[in-house]
């Protein structure tokens, strides 16, 4: 059985000439749709690694500079797709996705080209890819890179310095596509990655980003409506500034992000409401035990952050790398478990084996 | 009537030799209880201004350095109080307040000495001062200064650079005490101030600090309990880091602060719960109008911050100063209104007149 599935994998990868025994390399030709902050930075980063990068943007104003940076800019999206790139990366906004996918669908050669994207919410993209029937050649991706700027003018390959990517799979995702995208990320962009399903990605993204954005917005709403807000803002210091900084970024962008992930955000808001109700009740009742419990509950996270800081400040630290043999039948469970254990994938050394770095974990008390 | 109240004020101030016509100066002799981060920094700052500063600390380990900095360190609290300083500043922790006030009570000459403190929650301090019957010579104060460090070793006069003080009054606070404390703050510490009642102070402090600390703590509690928190922390970036930074500071200190101000924190938590419930419901129902309203509601605060940034980055800005004649009968209402209008008191030019700087305001749409 094991033998057979390995053979299956080998059959799947028969056309992948660039899978060398010394490790999975970056695909030779990556095509990028959209030369904004992320697409532009990614294109320049991949060029730095010697990859052939072609691109199309809905307006051609970045083309002169992009061409000077060695990027092969195409006049039409059709032209970009017809060249059968190894990987086609959708860096366009989510709202342009139906139109872009509609254009790609009749032209893409799904045997030759793997489709991926860089959106920060994964399930809606997969749904749209499913809609046009391109699921079999699709792998989701979300690089933890970005800043508050936008457009080609802000594009900078260093945006990807030390970035981690979340790469997402569904039940029908082909393993060879995942390995190919891993090659692009680890060799081409020189980043690390974790692998997981879209649902887990979107739930955890709502915990660390989308829900906190809503909470921060609720704080500035309270301030805006406070009759004594001149006094409140006079008294405000670092804690207020930190907690409200994200509410100052473009509210339309935040709203779009929250709405894309609304089910998870709603669930986490209810969890926050429960937590805040419990501590409000404890304060009301003067329940010292419960109040102490509330302030102690997050200690595992404080300890984890202290450990990270200690590692950063130490002169000499040890990093544990694990070499993992991938079982071609259970790769999804295996890779998800690796992510859940706090491992970052550093490189695929072959189609069957990868190296992962063990990162510090939040440990329950 | 007006004439009469002015005369009354002059009578009140008969003993205040240092109220010179050119403006209210720093009191000649300030005594400080507690040479920690705030007390130590304040003592050194006042010394820099040429003020005679005496001090007592519950342990004498900072005395050698403090004396080298020109601070007259006393062996006992009794000795400090018996010298009849113009102002006695309580910089001890709140939990030491009953003992400190008990020692001070029989020795203080309330006609000669004005009592003040630097606590971040004002009503509990006033309650303790009332308890020992020293309310008539007391004025509350809260400098917006501090960092995560503590103790004399961290004391630094630059901690007070550009700091704002909240100075609080009650129904029986004597106006001349307020003017005297203003002299210490504006001339001695070279800071600005706003004046308000304790209740308003504590309510607004809970909005911009105590309640957000609880919210931030609830976020790390959620993270600590999340079964996929290795993935969540891998995905986390700037927004999560900003929103949880305050939850990483000493949880016991945060807890003490929240409990001191529990009524206001509880009320504001309920307001936050209502706001989060509303947006959770809107997300559930896909109510775009309500979702848009939520993200637009804080726009006055975003505009205010953009205005502040614009002012900071501009080459040339205009500051409006207002000279305010104090009505001795309605000084509380007048000074509170000034704070509510976003004015910072720069200096008292006489017992009857002050100069205030108009600061940008959060404007309702």
pLDDT digits (tens, 9 = 90+) for A50-66: 999 999 999 999 999 99
Residue A14 has pLDDT above 70, yes or no: no
Q: Give residue B365's pLDDT.
A: 65
Nearest to B212 by CA among B166, B243, B255, B241: B243
CA atoms within 13 A on the CB side of A201: 27
Give the residue-averaged pLDDT of A195-221. Answer: 98
Q: Which of B124, B230, B241, B267 is the best substitution to test chain A (most A C-beta atoms within 10 A)? A: B230
**Which positions in chain B touch A230 (Cβ < 8 Å)?**
339-342, 359, 361-362
With an 8 Å Cβ cutoff, are B221 and A265 in contact? Answer: no
With an 8 Å Cβ cutoff, are A235 and B201 in contact? Answer: yes
Mind telling me how many Å the CA of A78 is from chain B's nearest CA? 34
The first and second tokens of residue B66, run together, are 């403090």
How far is Cα B182 from Cα B139, in angstroms, rounded to an integer? Answer: 10
Distance in angstroms between the alpha carbons of the first and the last residue of chain B: 41
**Mean pLDDT over the full length of chain A:** 93
Q: Are strands B321-325 and B353-358 parallel, antiparallel or unpaired?
A: antiparallel
B335 vs A: CB within 8 A: no
B359 vs A: CB within 8 A: yes
The backbone torsions φ and ψ at residue A253, rounded to the nearest 5 degrees and listed phi first, read -65, -45
| CB burial of residue A201 (10 Å; 0-12, 13-18, 19+) | buried
Neighbours of A147 (CB within 10 A): 11
pLDDT classification of B79: cutoffs 50, 70, 90: very high
Please calculate the CA angle B171-B172-B177 and round it to the nearest 5 degrees: 115
Nearest to A194 by CA among A350, A349, A337, A352: A337
Mind telling me how many Å the CA of B210 is from chain A's nearest CA? 9
**Which positions in chain A touch B166 (Cβ < 8 Å)?**
231, 234-235
| CB burial of residue B66 (10 Å; 0-12, 13-18, 19+) | buried
Residue B81 has pLDDT above 90, yes or no: yes
**Mean pLDDT over the full length of chain B:** 93
How far is Cα B257 from Cα B124, in angstroms, rounded to an integer? Answer: 11
Q: What is chain B's length?
A: 365
pLDDT classification of A146: cutoffs 50, 70, 90: confident
The first and second tokens of residue B209, run together, are 């600090």
With an 8 Å Cβ cutoff, are A231 and B200 in contact? Answer: yes
Residue B59 has pLDDT above 50, yes or no: yes
pLDDT digits (tens, 9 = 90+) for B193-241: 999 999 999 999 999 999 999 999 999 999 999 999 999 999 999 999 9
Give the residue-averaged pLDDT of A112-118. Answer: 98
How far is Cα A340 from Cα A362, in angstroms, rounded to an integer? Answer: 11
B239 vs A: CB within 8 A: yes
Q: Give residue B217's pLDDT.
A: 98
Mind telling me how many Å the CA of B83 is from chain A's nearest CA? 34
Three-state secondary structure call for residue A57: coil
**Which positions in chain B touch A359 (Cβ < 8 Å)?**
230, 234
Q: What is chain A's length?
A: 365
**Which of B225, B273, B302 shows the shortest C-beta gap to A276?**
B273
pLDDT classification of A19: cutoffs 50, 70, 90: very low
Render B51-79 in DSSP notation, one character per residue.
-EEEEE-SS-TTHHHHHHTT-EE-SSHHH
pTM: 0.91
B194 vs A: CB within 8 A: yes
Residue A98 has pLDDT above 50, yes or no: yes
Q: Which of residues 112-151 of A touch B (CB under 8 A)?
A: 142, 144, 146
Three-state secondary structure call for residue A51: coil
A251 vs B: CB within 8 A: yes
- The per-type count for chain B, helices as H runs and strands as E runs, is 16, 13
With an 8 Å Cβ cutoff, are A340 and B295 in contact? Answer: no
B167 vs A: CB within 8 A: no
With an 8 Å Cβ cutoff, are B204 and A291 in contact? Answer: no
Q: Give residue A18's pLDDT.
A: 45
pLDDT classification of B316: cutoffs 50, 70, 90: confident
Nearest chain A residue to B267 by CA distance is A280
How far is Cα B13 from Cα A186, in angstroms, rounded to an integer? Answer: 76
The first and second tokens of residue A196, run together, are 């997981």
With an 8 Å Cβ cutoff, are A226 and B204 in contact? Answer: yes
Neighbours of B318 (CB within 10 A): 7
B308 vs A: CB within 8 A: no
Nearest to A86 by CA among A23, A29, A167, A33: A29
**Which of A230, A269, A299 shows the shortest C-beta gap to B279?**
A269
Nearest to B91 by CA among B148, B132, B134, B150: B150
Residue keyed to tokens 């809609």: A131
pLDDT classification of A22: cutoffs 50, 70, 90: low
A6 vs B: CB within 8 A: no
Mind telling me how many Å the CA of A243 is from chain B's nearest CA? 5
Render A196-264 in DSSP notation, one character per residue.
EEHHHHHHHHIIIIIHHHHHHHHHHHHHHH-TTHHHHHHH--HHHHHHHGGGGS-HHHHHHHHHHTHHH
pLDDT digits (tens, 9 = 90+) for B83-133: 999 999 999 998 899 999 999 999 999 999 999 999 999 999 999 999 999
Residue keyed to tokens 């990028």: A32
B69 vs A: CB within 8 A: no
How far is Cα A243 from Cα A231, in angstroms, rounded to an integer? Answer: 18
With an 8 Å Cβ cutoff, are A234 and B277 in contact? Answer: no
B225 vs A: CB within 8 A: yes
Three-state secondary structure call for residue B139: strand
Largest Cα–Cα separation, chain B? 72
Residue B165, strand partner residues:
B143, B193
pLDDT classification of A365: cutoffs 50, 70, 90: low
Q: How many CB pairs under 8 A join A and B?
A: 309
With an 8 Å Cβ cutoff, are A362 and B219 in contact? Answer: no
Residue B26 has pLDDT above 60, yes or no: yes
pLDDT classification of A351: cutoffs 50, 70, 90: confident
**Which of A194, A276, A362 shows the shortest C-beta gap to B272?**
A276
Nearest chain A residue to B297 by CA distance is A221
Indicate the DSSP class of residue A23: E
How far is Cα B52 from Cα B57, in angstroms, rounded to an integer? Answer: 17
A258 vs B: CB within 8 A: yes
How far is Cα A279 from Cα A299, in angstroms, rounded to an integer? Answer: 16
Q: Which of residues 22-61 of B touch A (CB under 8 A)?
A: none
- Sign of the Cα pseudo-torsion (A258, A263, A268, A274, in order): positive
**Which positions in chain A touch B229 (Cβ < 8 Å)?**
301, 362
How far is Cα B85 from Cα B26, in angstroms, rounded to an integer? Answer: 12
A294 vs B: CB within 8 A: yes
Nearest to B32 by CA among B256, B184, B253, B164: B184
How far is Cα B296 from Cα A53, in angstroms, rounded to an integer? Answer: 40
Among A128-137, B68-77, B145-154, B289-298, whose mean pLDDT is lowest? B145-154
The set of residues, in sequence order, having a beta carbon less than 8 Å from that of A274 and lying 6+ positions away, is none
Neighbours of B127 (CB within 10 A): 12
pLDDT digits (tens, 9 = 90+) for B174-195: 999 999 999 999 999 999 999 9
pLDDT classification of A4: cutoffs 50, 70, 90: very low
pLDDT digits (tens, 9 = 90+) for A35-45: 999 999 999 99
B293 vs A: CB within 8 A: no
With an 8 Å Cβ cutoff, are A209 and B235 in contact? Answer: yes
Q: Are strands B72-73 and B87-90 parallel, antiparallel or unpaired?
A: unpaired
A64 vs B: CB within 8 A: no
Nearest to B115 by CA among B141, B137, B148: B137
Residue B32 has pLDDT above 90, yes or no: yes
Q: Give residue B17's pLDDT.
A: 45
């Amino acid at each position: 059985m094991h033998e057979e599935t390995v053979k299956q994998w080998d059959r799947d990868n028969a056309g992948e000439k660039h899978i060398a025994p010394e490790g999975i390399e970056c695909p030779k030709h990556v095509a990028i749709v959209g030369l904004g902050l992320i697409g532009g930075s990614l294109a320049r980063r991949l060029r730095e690694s010697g990859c052939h990068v072609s691109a199309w943007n809905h307006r051609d104003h970045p083309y002169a500079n992009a061409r000077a940076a060695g990027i092969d800019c195409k006049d039409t999206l059709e032209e970009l797709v017809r060249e059968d790139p190894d990987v086609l990366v959708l860096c366009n906004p989510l709202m342009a996705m139906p139109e872009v996918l509609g254009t790609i669908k009749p032209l893409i050669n799904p045997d030759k080209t793997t489709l991926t994207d860089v959106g920060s919410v994964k399930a809606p993209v997969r749904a749209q890819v499913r809609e046009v029937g391109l699921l079999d050649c699709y792998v989701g991706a979300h690089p933890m890179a970005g800043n508050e700027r936008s457009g080609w003018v802000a594009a900078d390959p260093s945006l990807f310095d030390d970035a981690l990517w979340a790469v997402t799979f569904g039940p029908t995702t082909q393993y060879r596509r995942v390995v190919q995208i891993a090659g692009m990320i680890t060799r081409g962009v020189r980043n690390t990655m974790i692998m997981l399903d879209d649902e887990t990605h979107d739930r955890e993204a709502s915990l660390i980003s989308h829900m906190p954005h809503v909470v921060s917005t609720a704080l500035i709403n309270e301030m805006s409506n406070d009759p004594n807000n001149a006094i409140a803002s006079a008294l405000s210091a670092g804690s207020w500034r930190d907690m409200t900084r994200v509410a100052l970024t473009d509210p339309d962008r935040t709203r779009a992000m929250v709405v894309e992930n609304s089910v998870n955000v709603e669930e986490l808001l209810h969890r926050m409401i429960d937590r805040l109700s419990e501590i409000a009740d404890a304060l009301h009742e003067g329940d010292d035990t419960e109040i102490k419990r509330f302030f102690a509950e997050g200690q595992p996270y404080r300890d984890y952050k202290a450990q990270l800081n200690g590692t950063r400040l130490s002169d000499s630290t040890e990093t544990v790398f694990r070499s993992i043999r991938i079982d071609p039948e259970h790769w999804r469970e295996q890779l998800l478990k690796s992510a859940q254990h706090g491992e970052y994938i550093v490189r695929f050394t072959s189609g069957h084996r990868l190296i992962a770095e063990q990162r510090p974990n939040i440990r329950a008390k």
